[in-house]
Amino acid sequence: MKLSPSPGFNHSMSQSSVFVPNSRQAWVRLGLALIIGSLGSVGMWSVVVSLPVVQADFSATRGAASFAFTCVMLGFGAGGVVMGRVTDRLGIVPAIAIGLVALAIGFLGVGFSQALWQFNAMYVAIGLGGAATFGPLMAEASHWFERHRGFAVTIAASGNYIAGTIWPPLVERGIALAGWRTTHIAIAIACGILMALTLLVLRAQMGGQAQRGHADAAPPRIDLRLGTNTLTALLSLASIACCVAMAMPQVHIVAYCGDLGYGVARGAEMLSLMLAFGIVSRVGSGYLADRIGGLRTLLLGSVAQGMALLFYVFFDGLTSLYIISAMFGLFQGGIVPSYAIIVRESMPASEAGTRVGIVIFASVFGMSLGGWISGVIFDATGSYAAAFLNGLAWNAVNMVIAVSLLLRARRRFALA
């Protein structure tokens, strides 16, 4: 007699292939995402470390050599939108695979570049590749959790800051021992292998979800009573405003300390301290967002960032600057990931990657604008005081948008 499996057996077998949010598998995915983010963001820091030697090698001006940073940021911003769209349509694994190829080609191209324009062009590709490991990865991580969504998003975003902690000394040592060309080629090989292996493990963990989007996910939790495009535009404007303010200390703290007579080494230490506390801020803000929501977390971070900027205006002692820089890092690190949380709370899940990518592109533009305009203000006034006040004004714009959205917010289950 032929025996057939019991209904209970079929049910358990079908359930085993279904991903469950907040499960052990979700935490494994998140750990893999953190590794990928830490590897994929190398280009944002390698360009800064290699700047002096590349400038000397190509006999270029500081401005011409610095354009490479603009190139990597442009690639990173535009790539966030492109890779976000790929993630929504095909899934995060194909998006990261495309980014991995672009990253490896970019670093290899830099290693073999014979002119500064080639060096700059390859850093656009590096930025494009790295973009897949930030905004789209945050959006993807938001699908893996319900109870701990904010925490997951900020953990995924922390890979960028971890990269800023581990890569600069490695790149500096590599350049000192083997030269900048060999170092870039070595990064291409090392990151290519490590990211490919990690991606294979992630693909195995993703299973059937590795190559599809999330059209079947739960509906948004929050109703802001705005069209999706209108909300995206408002979040993008808020992102530009907060990042113009954020760029002032991050971009100019080293030069500021040099002008005050403390030396650029002190400024570099403050920048490192700022980034280290930024990691704490990102993780903490995710924990907070799970309890009070993305909008309230954004507003709280914006208010705190404004306070730190105000302290910069009134205190310029060496000890004070160390303390304020630590405070600034602790306050601002969670602001950008808050936008990804807001997108997931208030927009369709099937568009999360694209929408987060657009907002991240706006944040990159804001950082670029903020760094540039702060320098222009310094040139015009001979002081950074007005630049800090300019940052405060932009920060106020961010706060106004956050408050206005918070006043419009309604939980969908309350409307049912």
What's the total number of domains in the chain?
Answer: 2
Within a domain: 19? no
Residue 111 neighbours by CB under 8 Å, 6+ apart = 181, 182, 183, 184, 185, 188
| 264 and 288, same domain (yes or no) | yes
Please report the pLDDT score of residue 168 as a whole number.
Answer: 83
| 78 and 113, same domain (yes or no) | yes
Within a domain: 284? yes
| 92 and 192, same domain (yes or no) | yes
Please report the pLDDT score of residue 8 as a whole number.
Answer: 44
| 115 and 152, same domain (yes or no) | yes
Please report the pLDDT score of residue 7 as a whole number.
Answer: 44
Please report the pLDDT score of residue 11 as a whole number.
Answer: 41
Domain stops at, among 159, 187, 211? 211
Please report the pLDDT score of residue 299 as a whole number.
Answer: 95
Q: Would you say the C-alpha torsion 370, 373, 375, 377 has a positive or negative sign?
A: negative
CATH code of the domain in which 65 resides: 1.20.1250.20
Residue 411, beta-bridge partner list: 222
Please report the pLDDT score of residue 12 as a whole number.
Answer: 39
| 275 and 192, same domain (yes or no) | no
Structure tokens at 283: 């993780």
DSSP codes joined into one string, 204-266: HHHGGGGG---TTSPPPSEE-SS-HHHHHHHHHHHHHHHHHHHHHHHHHHHHHHHHHTS-HHH
Structure tokens at 258: 């040099």
| 289 and 398, same domain (yes or no) | yes
Residue 285 neighbours by CB under 8 Å, 6+ apart = 150, 154, 297, 301, 333, 334, 335, 337, 338
Please give the residue range of the domain that contains residue 139. Answer: 24-211
| 51 and 134, same domain (yes or no) | yes
Domain stops at, among 158, 177, 211? 211
Give per-residue burial for 138-168: e unless 16+ CB within 10 Å, then b.
bbbbbbbbeebbbbbbbbbbbbbbbbbeebb
Domain stops at, among 179, 211, 243? 211
| 284 and 307, same domain (yes or no) | yes
| 268 and 247, same domain (yes or no) | yes
C-alpha to C-alpha distance for 247 and 340, rounded to whole angstroms: 20
Within a domain: 278? yes
Task: Note if the pTM is more than 0.75.
Answer: yes
Within a domain: 15? no
C-alpha to C-alpha distance for 240 and 395, rounded to whole angstroms: 9
> Mean pLDDT per 10-residue run, the chain (416 residues)?
44 52 89 95 85 85 76 89 90 94 96 94 94 90 87 89 84 89 96 96 80 58 87 96 90 83 83 85 88 92 94 93 93 89 88 89 88 85 90 96 90 45
Within a domain: 13? no
Q: What is the DSSP letter of 146?
A: S
Within a domain: 401? yes
| 281 and 191, same domain (yes or no) | no
Within a domain: 405? yes
C-alpha to C-alpha distance for 157 and 139, rounded to whole angstroms: 10
| Helix/strand/coil percent split, the chain, to 5 | 85, 0, 15
Within a domain: 1? no
Please report the pLDDT score of residue 83 as a whole number.
Answer: 92
Please report the pLDDT score of residue 278 as a whole number.
Answer: 86
| 324 and 256, same domain (yes or no) | yes
| 228 and 179, same domain (yes or no) | no
